[in-house]
Chains A and B, each alone.
Chain A
Amino acid sequence: MKRFLLCLIFAAAFAAGQFSTLAADTPAPTPKDPTIEQRIADLESYVNNAGRLADTPTNNVKSNISGPGPGANAWQMTSTALVLFMTLPGLFLFYGGLVRKKNVLSVAAQCFFITGMVTILWWICGYSLVFHHGNSILGNFGFAFLNGVDSNPNGDYSYWVSQNVFSMYQLMFAIITPALILGSIAERMKFSAMCIFMVLWMFVVYFPQAHMVWGIDGLMNGVWNADAKIKAIDFAGGTVVHMTSGWSALILCIILGKRVGWGKENFAPHSMVACMIGTGMLWVGWYGFNAGSAVAADVVAANAFTTTTLATAVASFVWPMAEWITKGKPSVLGFCSGAVAGLVVITPACGFVTSTGAVWIGLAAGLIPWFFCFKVKGWFGYDDALDTFGVHAVGGTLGALLTGVLARNSANANLATNLKTFVTDSCAQPLVIEQLKAIGITLVLAIVGTTVIAFIVRGLVGLRPTAEDEVTGLDVTDHGEEGYTG
């Protein structure tokens, strides 16, 4: 919406013959104090999530509200905390409950390590590589060490949210994405190997992918980058978060090999209660993830909030019903898996589809990932311990595709800015092809990147603990602790 309104302002300025994209090259005259009407216009812009008059340099006017908007910041800080809550402790409880008792702390340690490590990388150069201008693949080092990232908004991403808050918000995505991979390698990857793998993975896979999709000059940023070669859309991270982590998870679990005792021993979850609690936290936190991705508490966020609820609830209903029909019992893990699958599949679509589209997405999310977890995994026999591939890779890919099919102008006016010819409100609109191109690029990056990194790490420190350590459990052997004593 904000871009749409800004474009109207630009168009008006252009018509008046005042348009200049080279404002920085020609010294601008001292801005004038705003008139009462201009001050009211700025307030209206805040309420409507549009740019101030001063955000268009050619207007040559000061703004009395040049900093962030308090409401916009309040929502974004809340969303940031919600997304952190998804990882700590949401994802830990979801995954931790599904492993055996002797490995529960290893999942906690992995989640916590990633939180700290990614934050440090983000401060050094991660944020800059993703969100600074650069080329279409990667940003440059202009924001290294968060240099210049202060409480003032960065108009590339939001007119009313402080850039430091925006940076922290995006950091939480950078944290949870590698943490999702942990599900497929649970119970059998050496902690040191996991540490090195994740550092390399951020640079090779996450930073380029996030820049290509969300960076203002990104290759696949179809909504905001008029020059994007691929006119794809991804509202909250179907490709960036779920496809990258899910496909990397599949490759890494195949390279790692199966857990000792796979197919012979009982690998049943040690606490479905913890898993259920974690699922609830993920769902709640996901409102920050999806609705927060509007980077404003505006009409787009409201739509994303609604579609997220519908798709998740429908999928959490459909998955256990499918189990009930085929296996005789609806399981709690089925309810949990359906909810997470629904959240994953709606993620790229939530800000672009209508509520009816969300219901269709929920139905697909309840059936297709379910089919992969119940059938396909058995056919191929890979040990994706906690089904990161089945839920996140399959769900993320499905979501990216369905976003192309179901994106509608009525759900998001921003689609008319740069994608007029691609979003024609039919299920066979040209956007579908663009989404397929984005899916292809994401697949290649995740699969090739992970393969190379995994073999490097294997050469450096080895990937697996000894069979004896694995049978003892990683809590004791890697961390010197036990999850449950006394």
Chain B
Amino acid sequence: MKKIEAIIKPFKVDEVKEALREVGVEGMTVIEAKGFGRQKGHTEIYRGSEYTVDLLPKIKIEVVVPDARLDDVVAAIVKTAKTGKIGDGKVFVIPVEEVIRIRTDEKGDKAI
């Protein structure tokens, strides 16, 4: 099992969610995040004072999938979240040791 953490532009969240549903992902966690990478921030000017806002708003989507589905899911995210401009985000893939569904005590792929 793998956990996919995708950091994307906020305006792409609905498109990515729809694409994940189409490739069969049944659940996900969406977090409103702030951060920066190569895009850096932007400057805000209030009268004579300039402030650099380096933490930009992003959306982080977390999905756990069986190993067999990993490539499809990652491809779906990368395809839909891409604009080609700086700041599109990143996808991290992390191994997951165990998943447990609390209600039924099911474990592993069945619990995803």
Task: Give the number of chain A interface residues (Cβ < 8 Å).
Answer: 19
Question: How many Å lie between the Cα of A373 and that of B49 in the bound state?
Answer: 9
Instruction: Please determine whether A331 and B46 come into contact, CB atoms closer than 8 angstroms.
Output: yes
Contact with B along A186-198 (1 / 0, CB 8 A): 0000000000000
B49 touches A327 (CB 8 A): no
Q: A266 contacts B47, CB within 8 Å? A: no
B45 to chain A, nearest CB (A): 6
Contacts of B49 in A (CB 8 A): 267-268
Distance in angstroms between the alpha carbons of A374 and B47 in the assembled complex = 6
Size range of the chain B interface in the assembly:
under 10
23 of the cross-chain contacts (CB-CB < 8 Å) are A98-B46, A266-B51, A267-B49, A267-B51, A268-B44, A268-B46, A268-B51, A268-B53, A323-B45, A327-B45, A329-B45, A331-B45, A331-B46, A333-B47, A334-B47, A373-B48, A374-B47, A375-B48, A377-B47, A377-B48, A378-B48, A387-B47, A390-B47
B11 to chain A, nearest CB (A): 20
Chain B residue nearest to A377 in the complex (CB): B48
Report the Cα distance A128→B48, complex, angstroms: 42
CA–CA, A333 to B46, complex, Å? 7
From B45, B47, B48, name the one whose CB has the most chain A CB atoms within 10 angstroms. Answer: B47
Complex contacts, A268 vs chain B, CB 8 Å: 44, 46, 49, 51, 53
Q: For residue B53, give the distance in angstroms from its CB to the closest CB of chain A.
A: 7
**B53→A266 contact, CB < 8 A:** yes
Closest 3 CB pairs of A and B: A373-B47, A374-B48, A266-B51
**Across-interface contacts of B51 in A (CB, < 8 A):** 266-268
Using a CB-CB cutoff of 8 Å, which residues 359-382 of chain A contact chain B?
A: 373-375, 377-378
Docked-complex contact A269 and B46, CB < 8 angstroms: yes
Q: Considering the complex, which residues of chain B in the window 22-54 have a beta carbon less than 8 Å from any beta carbon of chain A?
A: 44-49, 51, 53
Tell me the chain A residues, 329-343 only, with Cβ under 8 Å from chain B. 329, 331, 333-334, 337
Instruction: Give A243-268 as 1s and 0s: 1 = Cβ < 8 Å from B's Cβ atoms.
Output: 00000000000000000000000111
Q: How far is B48's CA from A337's CA once the two chains are assembled, in angstroms?
A: 12
Which residues on the A side are within 8 Å of B44 (C-beta)? 268
Once bound together, how far apart are the Cα atoms of A98 and B46, in whole Å? 9
**Which residues of the other chain, B, contact A323 by a CB distance below 8 angstroms?**
45
CB distance from A369 to the nearest CB of B (A): 10
Q: Which of A318-334 contact B (CB under 8 A)?
A: 323, 327, 329, 331, 333-334
Against B, the Cβ 8 Å flags (1 = close, 0 = not) of A300-332 are 000000000000000000000001000101010
Interface of B is mostly: strand
Which partner residue on chain A sits nearest B45 by CB separation?
Answer: A327
Most chain B CB atoms below 10 A, which of A266, A331, A378: A266
**Alpha-carbon distance A62/B53, docked complex (angstroms):** 73
Distance between Cα atoms of A6 and B51 in the complex (Å): 59
User: Which chain A residue has the least Cβ–Cβ distance from B51?
Assistant: A266
Q: Which residue of B lies closest to A378 (CB)?
A: B48
- Among the interface residues B45, B46, B51, which one has the most CB atoms of the partner chain A within 10 A? B46
Which of chain B's residues have a CB closer than 8 A to the CB of A327?
A: 45
Distance between B56 CB and nearest chain A CB, rounded to angstroms: 14
Given A329-B45, A334-B47, 4 other A-B residues pairs in contact with their CB atoms under 8 A: A266-B51, A373-B48, A374-B48, A375-B48
Residue ID in chain B nearest A372 by CB atoms: B48
In angstroms, Cα B45 to Cα A333, docked, is 9
Q: How far is the CB of A260 from chain B (nearest CB, A)?
A: 16
> What residue of chain A has the Cβ atom nearest to residue B44's Cβ?
A268
Q: Which B residues touch A333, using CB under 8 A?
A: 46-47
Residue ID in chain A nearest B52 by CB atoms: A266
Contact with B along A214-237 (1 / 0, CB 8 A): 000000000000000000000000
Task: State how many angstroms separate the Cβ of B58 from the closest Cβ of chain A.
Answer: 19
| Least distance between A362 CB and chain B CB atoms (Å) | 19
A329 to B51, CA, bound (A): 15
Name the CB-closest residue of B to A334. B47
Q: How far is the CA of A387 from the CA of B53 in the complex (A)?
A: 22
Give the contacts of A264-280 with B (CB-CB under 8 A).
266-269
| Complex: chain B residue closest to A332, CB-CB | B46
Instruction: Give the most central of A268, A323, A375, A390: most B CB within 10 Å.
Output: A268
Question: Shortest distance in angstroms between B55's beta carbon and chain A's nearest beta carbon?
Answer: 10
Closest B residue by C-beta to A369 = B47
What residue of chain B has the Cβ atom nearest to residue A379's Cβ? Answer: B48
Residues of B within 8 A of A331 (CB): 45-46
CA distance A331 to B47 in the complex (A): 9
Nearest B residue (CB) for A370? B47
Shortest B38–chain A CB gap in Å is 22
**Which residues of A lie under 8 Å from residue B47 when comparing CB positions?**
333-334, 337, 373-374, 377, 387, 390
Residues of B within 8 A of A267 (CB): 49, 51
Q: CB-CB < 8 A to A390: which residues of B? A: 47
> Which residues of chain B from 85 to 105 have any CB-CB distance to chain A below 8 Å in the complex?
none
| Contacting residues, chain A, for B48 (C-beta < 8 A) | 373-375, 377-378
B52 to A: closest C-beta gap in Å? 8
A390 to B44, CA, bound (A): 20
